[in-house]
Every structure is written in structure tokens, then in C-alpha cells.
Structure 1
Amino acid sequence: MSAAESSMGAVDLRIVRELTGDARIGHAELGRRVSLSRPAVAERVRRLEELGVITGYGAHVDLGRLALGLQARVSPRPRQRTAKGAGRLRERLLAMGHVLSCVHVTGENCYELAIAVRDAAHLEQVIEQLSELGDATTAVVLSETVTSRDVDVTAWTSSPRA
């Protein structure tokens, strides 16, 4: 158990859950939802930020409205499987601009990319760019069943403290 986990209680987890659902919520409303005063909830949020539990705030973007309505998952098998090769892969993926995320995974593919493109022709272009790195398997996303903001973080702990 990490230091952050050991110092978090049920109220902290409820705060994280509320902020995960709506990061723009004000401290007064957040306090009302978790039964704390505005100053008390502001102090808890500040502490969660200092502990690194809350690492930032952001906007949820509708990629379709940005003309990036087609998403895919690509699993490349890079030719170079070294730390140096991973650094080059990261630089290359960031330069492409269509990669939403990249995680290093176990198995023969090594990486799992989430990408967003305009249409099938655009997907083909991006796959061709990625093929310069090595072989790849691609799957088109039909729909998103669960998003990170749907997850109830209070369910992640077995016995939260107050």
C-alpha cells in the first residue's frame, strides 16, 4: 500500500470520484456532495494534489466534432525492442499527432496504441506510417462501452477509512 493510499479515507475517495466525473465542480458544491465545508474540501483537494493522487485537470473532447470520428487500436511489434528504441518510438508517435495513448504491454506486440483519424483512408495512411516501425495489428473501435470517468474509484479499495 502506498503512502497516498494509506492516508486516504472514504471522504477522499468520494472527492476523487466527484472530480473524476466533473473536474469543474466548485468547492462549495463538492463540499455539499461529500458533506464537508468549502474550506475543508478545498484543504482535502489540495492535500490530494500534493500526494499526487490528483495529477491534473482536463477537458473531455468529442473527437467526432473535431473531424476525427474513427478510432482504432493498433498493436505494433517494433523491430527494435530496446530502451533506446522505445525512446525513438515515443518521439515518432508524438510527432504523428494521431496517437491518443500508447501503453507498453506484455505479449508479442509490446505496445497498444489508441489513435483517432478522419476516415478509413486516413487510417490506412497512419497504418502505413506505423508500418515503418515494424509489423502491426489493427482493430477499429465500434463503440466505447466504459470510459475512465465512468469508473467508481471508491470501489477500488476494500476498506476505506473516514
Structure 2
Amino acid sequence: MGNERELDALDHDILFHLQRDGRLTNVELARRVGLTPPPCLRRVRRLEETGIITGYRARVDPDAVGRGLEVMVSIEVSVSDLRTLEGLEATIAAYEEVVEFRRVFGTPDYYLRVLVADYAAYETFQTKKIIGIPGVARVISQPTMKKIKVTD
């Protein structure tokens, strides 16, 4: 069950419904996919145990919790030694404001998705937390104008 080829149509259907509503009861999920509850529950548990379903969470309105400004940040680094890069990654990954952090091929070296209250909060984040990390050569910030599609 560890890879895509081992999932059958029912597994994909279960995943489809749970991705849209992770709070579905097993009875409702079973009804939607055309199973009785016991085999449906077994399939969901197998999907969880094999790591295909990695968890469940609540989506929270960022404005409601004071994090309404989303900024996409690209970072270029000026070093290539592994110790410095690992330190940079550990430092940035630990920041609460950073909700997504990726190392990519090519330039820039990293992309971050940052959620903060407003522009002043972002300026403080960038100047106090990002600039000055050993290895950071360039930071480019792009505040989000409008979210067109978001899929978690």
C-alpha cells in the first residue's frame, strides 16, 4: 500500500471525500463511497497506517487570528557548505510566521510562505529574523494581492 499503484478506485474515492471534509463520520463516508461502515473504516485505518493519510487538521481564517498578510519570500544564499545551510534551514523552519518552507532547484534557493498581521509585522520579521542569518545573500518579498485557488 506504500505507493500510488496499490491504491484502488475505492481508496481514491475515500481520499477524495476526506480531503474535502476530514470530519465526515465513518457512516457518512461509507455511504458516499458505497461501502458498509466496517470495511470503510478498515480502509481508512490502512490509509492512515501506511502514511497515505498523514493527518487531519482545522483550517483557520488567518484574519481571525491576526495573520492576515501572506507574503511569498524567495531567498538566495551565498554559501554552499552543508553546516551553514542546515543552520539556516533550522532557524527559518522554527519561525512561527513561516507556514511553508521549500528548498528548490535553481535560483532562488528557497521559497517561504509567511503569515503575519500586517506590513509592519512583516518588516520586523524580515529585518530581525531573516536578514542576518549566516548565508542569506538576497531576500525578495512578494505580498499576496489575491488568493485565486488554495488547496491544502
- Do Structure 1 and Structure 2 share a fold, with TM-score over 0.5? yes
* Per-residue Cα deviation, 1:86-107 (whole angstroms, up to 9, x for no partner): 3212321233311001011122
By how many angstroms is 1:9 displaced? 1.0
Do the aligned residues in 1 keep the contact of 2:2 with 2:52 (CA within 8 Å)?
no
Q: Where does residue 132 of structure 1 map in the other structure?
A: 132
Whole-Å separation in 1 of the counterparts to 2:25 and 2:102: 33
* Per-residue Cα deviation, 1:2-43 (whole angstroms, up to 9, x for no partner): 842121011111111111111111100001111111111101
- TM-score after normalising by structure 1: 0.84
Q: Where does residue 146 of structure 2 map in the other structure?
A: 143
What secondary structure is seen at the aligned counterpart in 2 of 1:148? Answer: coil
By how many angstroms is 1:50 displaced? 2.1
Whole-Å separation in 2 of the counterparts to 1:52 and 1:113: 25
Q: Where does residue 67 of structure 1 map in the other structure?
A: 66
Query: Within 5 Å, which residues of 2 pair with 1:8-157?
Result: 8-128=7-127, 129-133=129-133, 134=136, 135-149=138-152
Number of positions where the alignment pairs a residue of Structure 1 with one of Structure 2 = 148
Report the residue type matching 2:132 in the other structure: E
Unmatched 5+ stretches in structure 2:
none
Aligned-residue identity in percent: 30
Unmatched 5+ stretches in structure 1:
150-162
Whole-Å separation in 1 of the counterparts to 2:62 and 2:96: 13
What secondary structure is seen at the aligned counterpart in 1 of 2:3? Answer: helix
Query: RMSD of aligned C-alpha atoms?
Result: 1.6
Do the aligned residues in 2 keep the contact of 1:76 with 1:130 (CA within 8 Å)?
no
Return closer, same or farther for 1:57/1:77 CA change in 2, 3 Å cut-off: same
Whole-Å separation in 1 of the counterparts to 2:57 and 2:151: 13
Structure 1 ranges of 4+ moved more than 4 A: none
Q: Structure with the greater relative contact order (CA < 8 A, sep ≥ 6): 1 or 2? A: 1
Return closer, same or farther for 1:49/1:82 CA change in 2, 3 Å cut-off: farther
What secondary structure is seen at the aligned counterpart in 1 of 2:139? Answer: strand
